[in-house]
């Protein structure tokens, strides 16, 4: 994703940019993969010999839930994107791909969850508990009742 310097007027320019998801380089990531293009709602302004670019960068990402291992999609966003590029008088264009990539990668969730309430997997049988209880938990309940019966004796 390159910005043409000579297209940016003195007063600045609002830009809607769209970069290929390939810039994210998530091919080998075990948890995250790209799900769509990287979008930027940016404002570029020349301040003497520096180009200042600010705005919001977002991308749709597939992530693996840290609790239940299901793949889900989420929007990763950096609403405080701000970069400056100096010495622009010697350039025709500025490549912002690497900075778009960094903005998304820095905002990936540390502990991705398909849902805040995700119940995760049963530690015993591995069933996804979001899809209903497994028979292990019934077993635990029976065990508890048996313990009560034993107390009565």
- Compute the least distance from the CB of residue 144 to Zn ion, in Å: 16
121 lies in the site for Zn ion, by CB under 5 A: no
Contact with Zn ion (CB under 5 A) among 125, 133, 138, 139: 125
Q: Minimal distance in Å, beta carbon 28 to Zn ion?
A: 23
Question: Is residue 104 close enough to count as binding Zn ion by CB under 5 A?
Answer: no
Of 44, 53, 68, 96, which lies in the binding site for Zn ion, with binding defined by CB under 5 A? 68
Q: Cβ-count burial of 127 within 10 angstroms (0-12 exposed, 13-18 middle, 19+ buried)?
A: middle
The piece of 3-11, 18-26, 52-60, 68-76 that touches Zn ion (CB under 5 A) is 68-76
Q: Where are the beta strands (DSSP E) in the chain?
A: 2-4, 13-19, 32-47, 50-64, 71-85, 93-95
92, 6 contact by CB (below 8 A) = yes
Residue 47 lies near Zn ion (rule: CB under 5 A)? no
| Partners of 3 in beta bridges | 94
Write the Ramachandran bin of 115: left for phi over 0, alpha for psi from -120 to 50, otherwise beta.
beta
128 binds Zn ion (CB under 5 A): no
| Interacting residues toward Zn ion by CB under 5 A | 65, 67-68, 114, 118, 122, 124-125, 134, 136
């Amino acid at each position: 994703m390159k910005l043409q310097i000579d297209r940016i007027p003195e007063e600045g320019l609002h830009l809607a940019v769209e970069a290929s998801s390939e810039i994210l380089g998530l091919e080998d990531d075990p948890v995250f993969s790209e799900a769509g293009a990287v979008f930027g709602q940016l404002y570029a302004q020349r301040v003497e010999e520096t180009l200042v670019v600010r705005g919001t960068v977002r991308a749709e990402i597939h992530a693996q839930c840290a609790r239940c291992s299901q793949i889900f999609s989420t929007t990763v966003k950096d609403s405080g994107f701000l970069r400056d590029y100096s010495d622009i008088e010697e350039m025709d264009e500025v490549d912002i791909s690497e900075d778009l990539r960094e903005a998304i990668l820095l905002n990936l969730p540390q502990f991705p969850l398909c849902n805040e309430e995700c119940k995760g997997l049963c530690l015993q049988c591995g069933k996804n508990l979001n899809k209903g209880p497994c028979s292990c938990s019934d077993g635990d309940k029976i065990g508890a009742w048996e313990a009560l019966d034993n107390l009565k004796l």
